[in-house]
Structure 1
Amino acid sequence: MARPIHLALIAAAVLSYVHVAQQGETGAHDHHQHVKIAAAAMIPAAEKLPRTGWVATASSEETAGDPAANVLDGDPATIWHSRWRTATPFPHWLTVDLRTTQRVSGLVYTPRTGRANGRIGRYQIHLSADGATWGEPVVTGTLADDAAVKTIGFAVSTARYVRLTALSEAGERGAWASAAEIDLLGDPGPRPPAQGDPSAVGTWGPTLGFPIVPAASAVLPNNKLLTWSAYAADNFGGANGYTQTAIMDLTTGQVSGRRVANTGHDMFCPGTSMLADGRILVTGGSNAKKVSVYDPRTDAWTSAPDMNISRGYQGQTTLSTGEAFTVGGSWSGGRGGKAGEVFSPKDNRWRSLPDVRPEPFLTADPAGAFRADNHAWLFAASGGRVFHAGPSAKMHWIDTAGRGKVTAAGTRGGDAMNGNAVMYDVGKILTLGGAPAYENADATKAAYTVDINGSTPAVRRVADMAEARAYVNSVVLPDGTVVVVGGQGRPVPFSDQTSVLEPELWNPATGRFTKLAPMATPRNYHSVANLLPDGTVFSGGGGMCGKCATNHPDGQIFVPPCLLNPDGSRKPRPVITSAPPTAAYGSAVTIGTDRAVEGFALTRISAATHSVDNDQRRIPLSSTAVSATSYRAAIPSDAGTAPPGNYLLFALDQAGTPSVAAPVRIG
């Protein structure tokens, strides 16, 4: 369901948060601590605007009993309903005239009670100053088919007219639309101003509404984005044996929801890996031993064998062998002792690694293993090995052969739980942000590079970020720069206090960060970010706390500066006219383009949850021009450089502007 943006905890949310803390992620033993944290997170929320004098009109209404005016009468028992005696096809719109120009930041939709007919599914919201000129929608999305009140947030704007357009009925029961009440939210307060021209800071697209909080996400090779939450659209707890999912079609922008129950798996807070054949392996979480596999070719979820050890919040990655390695994860299924294990897709079984103990990887979190044994940063290397880069200060090499083996690899800096790590070049990792404890500890601005190409990892501290961040996501772009999205200066689950709304861009050539255009919505705990095939970045989610005010069932797409002219228009970009769908290790592939280009890069399609995206990596390719528009590019010979799986192949011109990616499967 949709919830507000720009909102932080209010008194009712504090009670909801404390209840969740006692039975969910934070654990019953921390009850006294989380009462204190929730109270500290109380900051003003955007208020509903007074509806005095407002007028509602509709494109279709049952004037005799269910007119548009009912949405403003304060009585949820009366409704607006589009004509049903002589039904008219979609779309159906409902417009509210505020009578004066006001600042608005969201729409609160109360569905009818009793009967479900007419619940709005796909929707758009438009704003207008005069009721005649509407422009592009400020938010599009899909609402869940339930009776819950839904608050749809969007960037703060000035308008007199607000139009909600229904494009479908949530349950596909007919060509109807209805609403019991409509409210609008005012300006929640100052936001960071836009900075500079778009070619320097980028731009954000409109808000995209989801029927769930996208707490986990995976880019699919068919230009779609898979997301999921838990057993509920906006809440977690227990092991319920099913999961709410949603898929956004990146071509059309449409979002469709689906409840996955056939695998008996509540996939909240899991490990994820993108397997060599393109399937997504989801392990543990609320159902801590369960394993589910999603195949984008068939759009089907199936069960895989249970893990040997119950886990939630584990670290996981795909190996150079095509297997998947996981370790740790003491949030679910007991605390401590979460030794590593490996899943073989070929044999369809798990193999234990008793000598890959989790203890070397723990942070010094004061909450012990419950918080310290989570979210390991893992990067596949040659020969089935894995480099452990954090979030603990200590780093390690992991050998997954036989019983497994762990070897110390030096230190990086302080513990950085809920920070982020991304491989931006071959064997080169950027780590940033995080905090010395999982929650209620000041985050850091510090960033480091770790080069694992030599015999000993080389650690270098680079320039600090402009803002301290935990619960932060980062995405490597085709040119090797890294977009850093969201996070809090002081991590507190289910709070938007100390949110950082301005992303930053890290440049490996200078080792420095620059601020980017601010986003409309805080993206903190349970948020995600992914590189999309067109070179833009999806950022979404945050919350998952039931009726609290910090659920964000929506996302936005960021257009990086490299794609934009100073006036905000899109730059001309190269086009890949031909590329092979598959490539073998050590081969040379022929790539056709519509113009001369400077080079090519692969980025591995990957998945994100809880600030972790271990399969994400970028690999620049060596290439030779055959003609003005034809090139031979060398695919790495080592599966440790490019673990088997699906990749996005980008061409880049001399200015670093990337093409839309061509999909290619390596190995």
Structure 2
Amino acid sequence: MIRGFAPLRLRRLSRFRSRSLILPALTATLAVLLPLLIFGGSASAGPGQALPAADPTSPPPAPHHQAAPAAAMEPAAPTLPRDGWTATASDHETARGDHSPARALDADPNTMWHSKWTAPATALPHSITIDMKKTVVVSALVYQPRATGINGRVGEYAIHLSADGAAWGAAVATGTLADDITVKTLSFAPKGARYIRLTATTEAGSRGPWTSAGEINLLGDPGTTASVVDLPRDGWTATASDQETAKGDHRATHALDADPDTMWHSKWTAPPATALPHSITIDMKTARPVSALSYEPRRTGVNGRIGAYTVTTSTSGTTFSTPVASGTWKDDDTLKGATFTRTVTARYVRLTATTEAGRRGPWSSAAEIRVSGPADPAAHGMWGKVTGFPLVPVATAVLPNNKMLAWSAYGVDRFGGSNGYTQTAIMDLATGRVTQRRVDNTGHDMFCPGIAVLEDSRVLVTGGSNAKRASIYDPATDAWTSTADMNVARGYQAMTLLSTGDAFVLGGSWSGGNGGKGGEVWSSANGTWRKLSGVPVTTTMTADPRGPYRADNHQWLHATSMGRVLHLGPSKRINWISTSGNGSITAAGTRADSPDAMNGNAVAYDIGKLLTLGGATAYENVKATRRAYTVDLNGGGTPVSSRTGDMAYARAFGNSVVMPDGKVAVFGGQSYPVPFSDATSAMTPEIWDPATGRFTRMASMAVPRNYHSVANLLPDGRIFSGGGGLCGACATNHADGAIFTPPYLLNADGTEKTRPVISGGVPAHAANGAVLAVTTDSEVTSFALVRAGAATHSTDNDQRRVPLTLRQTGTGAYEVTVPADPGVALPGTYFFFALNAQGVPSKATMLNLR
């Protein structure tokens, strides 16, 4: 049975009307079985067997990425051994049994630590502190609730780290856990620490002032590095203890050439191959602070993947330090990382391999090696703590009351079938507190939906697992209601609000049957749906090898004047769509030289100007692209597409967000998209500048954000990035998120820059064409509207930025004009920002256009 779907029983599969669970399960099953069928149980030599005689640099017979879904079922970070660890607690129960904190470390889930509950019970909060006896890199706390009974399950929590047990600093993670028995992985940015403390501030079910834990484990270095930035490698050189040149050019320099299809490989030609250990030394030419190293295994083949390793540093190139990082990397193709236990200043960084990961032979190889240093907040931004959610936030919508709505499926960590209810959560953006709610009354499992934020700020959610249903969330009343079912059952469809205030939907063969997912329109006047016989989906599809099931998914739609819509991807073809009457669709060329770009996305960064980013020629199991394109609608009827600068990282399943200054930030994604996998993750966000057409790397993330992840601009100008996974018991469920503070808000020391403040003149509601008398506490140079977004599956058709025209009428006084055309400034909720001459944005005032 597949670990990620252990709760399922095969006899139930025939009951599922959609393919949502069957196909991922079959994919994962084949990934496990195919190598066994091909290799007779092993793809490499084992004990007592001869090593393969073939070139160790050649690829294996099976497709290189065949096993990626299976690898996703294992933790990304190693579980740290608990030998010698001790635990203390704020309090514990002894009168009615031994419930001391040591019970959380005894490897017996049937015992537990429990706070004192005999009268009088100790009031919340309660905490348990683990002493690992030495400083190690730790990246997550794994909380296993008590095996029997329910009282004391942790609800709201905080995690703190300390080097000495005295100085704790700010929490590295906070959040809210679901009230169930599942094991929870509470992630945070990897960091060296000796002590880790879990503090429970509420009991998950509000049953009493109790806290308990069956077991607590800690995870080590996850192979990703956070809050650092890749150092530019211009002029760097690399040398190695040995290298292969006789049967190919596998010199050390290839680990620095930004081409993952080349590699450094140790000497393997006889006689004889050079024995382990092997080392490669990077000369950065000048001493600088360094805090992490990343290692990308060879792209084709498996031989030479590094297993056990150490990292040492030097200022001279002759005398090297004791290891600043060490460990053992898993035998897979994921990007590996080594977080240093401390930041050091060095010119030389040496990676030494002491074992080959699969024990296939005395070889070492590396496609790319990067060295990272501490991020400069003023240049690279800064990440806040990781916030845990009681679900995987697969879909999100930012609300006008400074809150964010998130939802997943019928389960907090899984999907499948048509269950008629959905797990939702609300994050209070002012406090960071997350609350959970199960929505039953609409009969709608809203996994993999279409989303549109309506003109009155309500959120329309369509289809998904219950493929014809449509539901509406009203933030003013915090209530969910049903609206009319769609005419066509859909999942993975695209939606956008129209300039008329109605909503348009297209595509969605993931659920409700293959093909025939033509357009239809929801009426804001009567809540009913109207089919558009003149808008078939066929001309908007990609050439995905799996046909409509994947080819009509996650379309990029941009609403314009008079109820029209530009369809600009992910297919390479662009189309104009009219929603009047029966509708019509007209070809509008191609997106320059772009191929299909499924699981990429598009974002409107200026009036009539959009940026498209990443994607791949098929939904999964192909290479993603680094390419980005601009699409300009301002020249007449035919959109003009141009290639702009490439991203540093290829991305599919990434998310993009437009900021108030017109720049676009992109987060997460994979260079080789595989659902439910953390392999080939892009951990470094990038920001695109329309003035230069270039991308700049930002501070790296702590948690991979791939399939089922989201990103949203927040009213304070920061950005939420979260989610990923939703695959049952697998280890790639990321029920959390973090807030990124862009560089425009930060000084070099990480403090916030002085912002302009909008002091008056922005009403709660306004009409298109309105002229607003806006006042600010200091001089500003521009104003912009950014529409509140609603994101899912890498797509957010709701967000758009609209720069505003202004006329200064006095000191801190401005006349600001809202575009008269509702096709430029769509109806709905907007963040109204003021920006000063340095590009620093105010906190937004909310404005509703109707």
Given the two structures, how large is their TM-score scaled by the length of structure 2? 0.75
User: CA separation in 1, counterparts of 2:131 and 2:477?
Assistant: 46
User: CA separation in 1, counterparts of 2:134 and 2:560?
Assistant: 61
Instruction: Please point out which of 180, 198, 201 is paired with 2:377.
Output: 198
User: CA separation in 1, counterparts of 2:548 and 2:485?
Assistant: 23
Distance 1:283 1:61, change over 3 A: same
Instruction: Please point out which of 644, 647, 660 is paired with 2:830.
Output: 647
Correspondence list, 1:573-584, <5 A: 573-578=755-760, 579-584=762-767
Distance 1:15 1:260, change over 3 A: closer
Q: Does the CA-based 8 Å contact 1:21-1:34 persist in structure 2?
A: no
Task: Identify the residue that residue 109 of structure 1 maps to in structure 2.
Answer: 143
| 2:167 matches 1:133 | yes
Instruction: Please point out which of 557, 566, 574 is paired with 2:739.
Output: 557
User: CA separation in 2, counterparts of 1:665 and 1:54?
Assistant: 55
| 2:503 matches 1:324 | yes
| 2:90 matches 1:59 | yes
The one-letter code matched in structure 2 to 1:429 is L
| 2:211 matches 1:180 | no
User: CA separation in 1, counterparts of 2:408 and 2:13?
Assistant: 18
Distance 1:29 1:76, change over 3 A: closer
Task: Identify the residue that residue 571 of structure 1 maps to in structure 2.
Answer: 753
Correspondence list, 1:366-377, <5 A: 366-377=545-556
The one-letter code matched in structure 1 to 2:20 is E
Instruction: Please point out which of 238, 243, 246 is paired with 2:425.
Output: 246
C-alpha displacement at 1:454, in angstroms?
Answer: 2.3
Instruction: Please point out which of 638, 644, 664 is paired with 2:821.
Output: 638
Q: Does the CA-based 8 Å contact 1:580-1:591 persist in structure 2?
A: no
C-alpha displacement at 1:18, in angstroms?
Answer: 13
Q: Does the CA-based 8 Å contact 2:111-2:214 persist in structure 1?
A: yes
User: CA separation in 2, counterparts of 1:202 and 1:633?
Assistant: 30
Residues 124-181 of structure 1, C-alpha deviations (whole Å, 9 max, x = no match): 0001111111100110000000111111111111111110000000000011111111
Task: Identify the residue that residue 217 of structure 1 maps to in structure 2.
Answer: 396
Instruction: Please point out which of 33, 40, 45 is paired with 2:76.
Output: 45
Q: Does the CA-based 8 Å contact 1:267-1:285 persist in structure 2?
A: yes
Distance 1:631 1:270, change over 3 A: same
User: CA separation in 2, counterparts of 1:190 and 1:622?
Assistant: 44
Distance 1:190 1:314, change over 3 A: closer
Q: Does the CA-based 8 Å contact 1:600-1:652 persist in structure 2?
A: yes
C-alpha displacement at 1:88, in angstroms?
Answer: 2.1
User: CA separation in 1, counterparts of 2:67 and 2:192?
Assistant: 32
Give the match's secondary structure for 1:194: strand
Residues 300-342 of structure 1, C-alpha deviations (whole Å, 9 max, x = no match): 0000010010000001000000000001100000110111110
The one-letter code matched in structure 1 to 2:212 is S
The one-letter code matched in structure 2 to 1:443 is A
The one-letter code matched in structure 1 to 2:229 is A
Q: Which moved more, 1:623-632 or 1:276-285?
A: 623-632
Task: Identify the residue that residue 469 of structure 1 maps to in structure 2.
Answer: 651
C-alpha displacement at 1:16, in angstroms?
Answer: 9.1
C-alpha displacement at 1:13, in angstroms?
Answer: 4.8
Task: Identify the residue that residue 70 of structure 1 maps to in structure 2.
Answer: 103
Distance 1:13 1:33, change over 3 A: closer
Give the match's secondary structure for 2:103: helix
Question: Kindly, what percent of the aligned residue pairs are identical?
Answer: 59
Residues 481-509 of structure 1, C-alpha deviations (whole Å, 9 max, x = no match): 00011000010000010000001100001
Task: Identify the residue that residue 81 of structure 1 maps to in structure 2.
Answer: 114
Residues 451-495 of structure 1, C-alpha deviations (whole Å, 9 max, x = no match): 112222111111111111000100000000000110000100000
Given the two structures, how large is their TM-score scaled by the length of structure 1? 0.96
Q: Does the CA-based 8 Å contact 1:267-1:286 persist in structure 2?
A: yes
Give the match's secondary structure for 1:474: strand
| 2:512 matches 1:333 | yes
Instruction: Please point out which of 427, 445, 457 is paired with 1:278.
Output: 457
Give the match's secondary structure for 2:229: coil
User: CA separation in 2, counterparts of 1:38 and 1:125?
Assistant: 37
C-alpha displacement at 1:647, in angstroms?
Answer: 0.3
Task: Identify the residue that residue 466 of structure 2 maps to in structure 1.
Answer: 287
Gaps of 5+ in 2: 32-64, 231-374
Task: Identify the residue that residue 6 of structure 1 maps to in structure 2.
Answer: none
Task: Identify the residue that residue 25 of structure 1 maps to in structure 2.
Answer: 20
Instruction: Please point out which of 554, 561, 565 is paired with 1:386.
Output: 565
Q: Which moved more, 1:181-190 or 1:389-398?
A: 181-190
The one-letter code matched in structure 2 to 1:437 is A
User: CA separation in 2, counterparts of 1:16 and 1:497?
Assistant: 24
Q: Does the CA-based 8 Å contact 1:101-1:159 persist in structure 2?
A: yes
The one-letter code matched in structure 2 to 1:540 is G
User: CA separation in 2, counterparts of 1:494 and 1:223?
Assistant: 31
Residues 278-313 of structure 1, C-alpha deviations (whole Å, 9 max, x = no match): 100000000000000000000000000100100000
Task: Identify the residue that residue 608 of structure 1 maps to in structure 2.
Answer: 791
Task: Identify the residue that residue 296 of structure 2 maps to in structure 1.
Answer: none
User: CA separation in 1, counterparts of 2:5 and 2:492?
Assistant: 24
Instruction: Please point out which of 791, 801, 806 is paired with 1:623.
Output: 806
Instruction: Please point out which of 664, 669, 674 is paired with 1:492.
Output: 674
Residues 338-366 of structure 1, C-alpha deviations (whole Å, 9 max, x = no match): 11110012111111111100000000000
| 2:508 matches 1:343 | no
The one-letter code matched in structure 1 to 2:104 is V
Distance 1:392 1:101, change over 3 A: same
Distance 1:426 1:40, change over 3 A: same
User: CA separation in 2, counterparts of 1:18 and 1:137?
Assistant: 40
Q: Does the CA-based 8 Å contact 2:5-2:729 persist in structure 1?
A: no
Give the match's secondary structure for 1:35: helix
Distance 1:533 1:34, change over 3 A: farther
Task: Identify the residue that residue 430 of structure 1 maps to in structure 2.
Answer: 611
Distance 1:515 1:34, change over 3 A: farther
Report the RMSD for the aligned CA atoms in angstroms: 2.0
Give the match's secondary structure for 1:622: strand
Q: Does the CA-based 8 Å contact 2:189-2:225 persist in structure 1?
A: no
Runs of 4+ in 1 over 6 A off after TM superposition: 14-23
Q: Which moved more, 1:529-538 or 1:35-44?
A: 35-44
Q: Does the CA-based 8 Å contact 2:543-2:551 persist in structure 1?
A: yes
Q: Which moved more, 1:218-227 or 1:344-353?
A: 344-353
Residues 578-602 of structure 1, C-alpha deviations (whole Å, 9 max, x = no match): 1211111111011111111001000
Distance 1:277 1:18, change over 3 A: same
Give the match's secondary structure for 1:189: coil
Task: Identify the residue that residue 776 of structure 2 maps to in structure 1.
Answer: 593
Q: Does the CA-based 8 Å contact 1:210-1:553 persist in structure 2?
A: yes
Distance 1:34 1:430, change over 3 A: farther
Q: Does the CA-based 8 Å contact 2:758-2:774 persist in structure 1?
A: yes
Q: Does the CA-based 8 Å contact 2:453-2:497 persist in structure 1?
A: yes
User: CA separation in 2, counterparts of 1:566 and 1:47?
Assistant: 34
Q: Which moved more, 1:421-430 or 1:81-90?
A: 81-90
Q: Does the CA-based 8 Å contact 2:139-2:220 persist in structure 1?
A: yes
The one-letter code matched in structure 2 to 1:644 is P
Gaps of 5+ in 1: 1-9
User: CA separation in 2, counterparts of 1:467 and 1:130?
Assistant: 38
Give the match's secondary structure for 2:791: strand
User: CA separation in 1, counterparts of 2:471 and 2:399?
Assistant: 16
Distance 1:33 1:80, change over 3 A: closer
C-alpha displacement at 1:52, in angstroms?
Answer: 1.6
User: CA separation in 2, counterparts of 1:499 and 1:623?
Assistant: 42
Structure having the higher Rg: 2
User: CA separation in 2, counterparts of 1:597 and 1:333?
Assistant: 51
